[in-house]
Structure 1
Amino acid sequence: MTHLFLTTVAHTRTSPVRHSFEHRSCSWLIDLADVDERGRSRGLPVGLRAVVRFRSRDHLGDPRCGWLDNVARFAATHGVQLGGGSVVALTNGRTLGHVFNPITLYWCHDAEGQLACVIAEVHNTYGQRHAYLLEPDARGVADAEKAFYVSPFNDVSGRYRMSVPPPTDRLDVTVVLHRDGERPFVATWRGEQVAGGLDLVRAIMRLPLANWLVSARIRWHGIKLWRRLPVQPRPSHRQELV
């Protein structure tokens, strides 16, 4: 099972200055069991398998191990046993030798097919990553203490509220940072599954540059904020390697 989504990502910063942006991109929803040791997804059309890769070393865990194994091991270290259940990830694929995933979401199921947890894996532009294990309620909402330096203009204080309902033919994810009774940062990740035809052609044409554009846009907005906000010290961070 591999599906391509045309997405819109929006960020809104409300404090101490207001700044917002929105851009279009592409994301893949893939079953990790379909990804082989070379990062090729069997759910992709043959012509795309050589262009789009999903490599374990681009994500959490030991780069020498399989991606699915790493996710299951991470869940187990947090007390969630998947028992061989399926894991579906929403992520960007590596194209033209580059990938950047500000966030990858994993919907992890147990052996009976029930949702056991959601893992939110966050990457920053310093080459670091951190994963949050979430146990959403019936609405798909979960809270997590912020523990990772993402923006140079935001420290690691506060608490996230994430709305992460499993995607269907539509995607609707929201991440809100709560701090001191305020909501200084809100991000949304929304989109629709590409069914085929002309929309699929347009999406595939957009794929080769999608990762480069994400990286460039983040840095461009960082430059604009650098003129207006003080840079917060970046604490040391230990990567998850389980």
Structure 2
Amino acid sequence: MTLAARLEAGDVLAMAALVTHARRGALRHTFRTHADHVLLAPEHFHPPRLMGHNRFGLIAFYDADHGGPRRAGTGAHWAWQHFNRAGIDRRQGVVLALLTQPRFLGYWFNPVSFWMLIEGNALIAVIAEVNNTFGQRHSYLLARPEFAPITARTELTARKVFHVSPFQEVAGEYHFRFALRPDRIAIRIAQEDGSAGIDTSMAGPLSTLTTGRILAATLRRPGGALRVIAQIYWHALRLKLKGAAYRRLPSPPDQEIS
């Protein structure tokens, strides 16, 4: 069964992603961690026990957490609107999926989630939904000309227009690479800004999310999204102690997607 068929049938897939983050330039900083993600089709999925859908659970997915303003999003409807405006219409065999971190005991934060259009085992287009710790969000739509399949060799570029880290300028470009397989996802993002920049990656195997896997992940990496936000602030403190200059929060982009 293809990845698209599994998602359309209602499967929720777990991904224990290895996340790496390496800052280049005069001030270097590198770390590696693991974070638990889910890949699901919001219009089709059947959550396992302990996972809520628009209701409280040990982990939970809320449609309002994605697609549009934070905590007031319209989920899949928003994503389809923007894919349609880009020239991609709904058609049989194409499934809209979301790779994201679920809520943990009601708490939500995602540095980046990925809306993916998947046909069979092929990736057709992506919306990278980026959140910062200041309550703001901006998204980047990524696709090849004529919406040709995105392969592991494809590099997709977007101009950085959104403030993510207070220790970086809003400048330069992002270079995205996606490697999608039925049993694994790997994503690499290189942010280039002259001689400086950041290399980020997340990769891990895909497996069916079960109650047992939810409990195992909770014991192995307790806190879920709470753990992620704590790590963000910890590494921000380390950067400040290394002498990184703090930049004031600029106004967000006028458009919610670029």
1:101 is aligned to 110
CA deviations over 1:140-183 (Å, ceiling 9, x no partner): 42111111110101111101100123343112110001122x35
Match of 2:39 in 1: 29
The answer as to whether partners of 1:170 and 1:193 remain within 8 angstroms in 2 is yes
Partner of 1:192: 205
Offset at residue 8 of structure 1 (A): 1.0
Q: 1:48 to 1:147 in 2, by over 3 A?
A: same
How far 1:126 moved relative to its partner?
Answer: 0.7
Structure 1: gaps of 5 or more residues: 35-40
Computed over aligned residues only, the root mean square deviation of the Cα atoms, in angstroms, reads: 2.7
CA offset at residue 94 of structure 1? 1.1
Relative distance call for 1:183 and 1:229 in structure 2 (3 A) is closer
Report the TM-score, using the length of structure 2 for normalisation: 0.79
Aligned counterparts, 1:109-148, within 5 A: 109=118, 115-136=123-144, 137-138=150-151, 139-148=153-162
* Distance change in 2, residues 1:226/1:239 (3 Å): farther
Give the CA deviation at 1:92. Answer: 0.6
Query: 1:46 and 2:49 equivalent?
Result: yes
Alignment check: 8 A CA contact 1:60 1:129 kept? no
The letter for the 1-side match of 2:158 is A
Deviations 1:52-101 (A, max 9, x none): 22223212226666411011112234x23332542111101112111111
> Do structure 1's residue 236 and structure 2's residue 251 form an aligned pair?
yes
Q: 1:211 aligns with which of 221, 225, 238?
A: 225
Greater displacement, 193-202 / 137-146: 193-202
Which contiguous aligned blocks of 4+ residues in structure 1 show a shift greater than 4 angstroms? Answer: 62-65, 112-115, 195-199
CA deviation after TM superposition for structure 1 residue 229, in Å: 1.1
**Structure 2: how far apart are the matches of 1:64 and 1:233?**
26
Displacement of 1:197 after TM fit? 9.0
CA distance in 1, matches of 2:102, 2:228: 12
Task: Determine helix, strand or coil for the equivalent of 1:86.
Answer: strand
Deviation (angstroms), 1:109? 4.7
Cα gap change, 1:214 to 1:74, in 2 (>3 Å): same
Identical columns (%): 27
- Figure out how many residues of one structure are paired with residues of the other and give that number: 231
Contact 2:50 2:211 in 1 (8 A): no
5+ residue gaps, structure 2, are 1-10, 145-149
User: Structure 1's 195 and 88: CA in aligned 2 closer, same or farther, altered over 3 A?
Assistant: closer
Q: How do 1:83-98 and structure 2 match up within 5 A?
A: 83=90, 85-98=94-107
Q: Which structure: greater strand fraction?
A: 2
Asked if structure 1 preserves the Cα contact closer than 8 Å seen for 2:109 and 2:229, the reply is: yes
Alignment partner of 1:58 is 2:61 = no
Structure-1 separation of matches of 2:49 and 2:155? 37
